[in-house]
Amino acid sequence: MQIYKVGGAVRDRLLGREVTEVDWVVVGATAEAMQAQGFRPVGADFPVFLHPRTGEEYALARTERKSGRGYGGFTFYASPDVTLEQDLIRRDLTINAMAEDADGGLYDPYGGQRDLEARLLRHVSPAFAEDPLRVLRVARFAARYAPLGFRVAEETLALMAGLAASGELQALTPERSWKEISRALMEPRPDVFIQVLRDCGALKELLPELDALFGVPQAEADHPEIDTGLHILGALRQCAEHRQPLPVRWACLLHDLGKGRTPPSEWPRHVAHEQLGLPLIDAVNTRYKVPRDCQELARLVGEFHGLGHRAPKLSASTLFELLQHFDIYRRPERFEQFIAACEMNARGRKGFEQTAYPQAAYLRGAAAAARAVAVQPLLELGYRGPELGEALKRERLKAVTQYQQGMHGD
């Protein structure tokens, strides 16, 4: 039995990055031998075991063969006669197909170290094209390592394009796709993830509503980058630079989908694009079974980001209604995320990356004024039930009106 450290732990050590997770492959062993040593099997049909003390994953060396569609369409063969080289060749990228022995000796049969130095994301073998999930994985690795200068090798991008054209991406489960998409959005360059998917034709298969935004012009005075798709990439990059949480990044990704529905005869104006985008946002959220917090924020940002940008110019009643939509009294964090999404959106325009966004403080001030209205004085005046709710609403509107007058010097 020989045990090797494999995959990301080897790759990140060679890159000088922190190693957060270690995977191991075991050559020359059987499932019975692993369990005899106290290893716990992860599943009945998969040769992966958990170490009795560390809980780290130890997989028997295996080969795999395509047997159906999608990510799960494979049969595995695990046996003591499977070699390390046979196990490594089934992996996705050369930089993930390296191993280390107990003495730190490096096993690199497919040129992973060479590609690390060349900053290339290259597939290990033609079998790469058997697994559609690898399209998303490679795009995610591109988003992670773009700050180090990595790019996808042309021949690998060609295989990804073939997978996108084959219809295999449609065989991925919503849960598996969302896992990759959500992880990619939290990488240092989520914009690169979207760009790589677009470069290989996968974006129009996975997110056609988003792909449709590229080439759609906006008014240059407001959007010097002009292209709506490029604006989305800019907003995503701002999200990463400002370390925004996943719901904010997801909302920024989807906030302008309605512009893809504007008739070309109306370009570069996009009248009512917020409302046009809502069914598209709902469709994407449903397709990938997106978590509720991401769904809700994406919908709210899609509908109200225009009002957020115009906040200082809104009437007191419109400003107050905006606050009411967000339930700022019980869900203050959701309104904060809305403000963040609006700011990332504004900074995502070419030349506006460092521009202040005074609307953020204005919106926070209005919310604070509304929240400051106390219920007790209204109870003392005898208000109860629905009448109390209406009286509270009037007092909060009055507070927002006074706040607005103070801000404008009225």
Question: Structural domains in the chain?
Answer: 1-110 (3.30.460.10)
Asked whether 113 and 14 are in contact (CB, 8 A), the reply is yes
CA distances from 104 to 9, 26, 54, 107 (A): 12, 16, 20, 9
Closest CA to 307 of 279, 333, 280, 345: 345
Angstrom distance (rounded) from CA 342 to CA 344? 6
> CA-CA distance, 167 to 368, in Å (whole number)?
51
Candidates 233, 225, 147, 228; CA nearest to 196 is 233
In DSSP terms, which residues pair with 24 in a beta bridge?
5, 58
Q: Which two tokens stand for residue 28?
A: 């020359």
Strand 151-152 with 120-121, pairing: parallel
pLDDT in tens, the chain (410 residues): 899 999 999 999 999 999 988 999 999 998 899 999 999 998 766 789 999 999 999 999 988 765 455 545 556 677 888 999 999 999 999 999 999 999 999 999 999 999 999 999 999 999 999 899 999 999 999 999 999 999 999 999 999 999 999 999 999 999 999 999 999 999 999 999 999 999 999 999 999 999 999 999 999 999 999 999 999 999 999 999 999 999 999 999 999 999 999 999 999 999 999 999 999 999 999 999 999 999 999 999 999 999 999 999 999 999 999 999 999 999 999 999 999 999 999 999 999 999 999 999 999 999 999 999 999 999 999 989 999 999 999 999 999 999 999 998 76
Closest by CA position to 180, among listed 170, 191, 172: 172
Supply the pTM of this predicted model: 0.92
Cα separation, 187 vs 193, in Å, equals 9
Rg of the chain in Å (alpha carbons): 26
- Residue 3 pairs in a beta bridge with 26
The answer to whether the Cα torsion of 114, 117, 118, 123 is positive or negative is positive
Buried b (16+ CB within 10 A) or exposed e, 156-194: bbebbeebbeeebbebbeeebbbebbbbbbbbebbbbbb
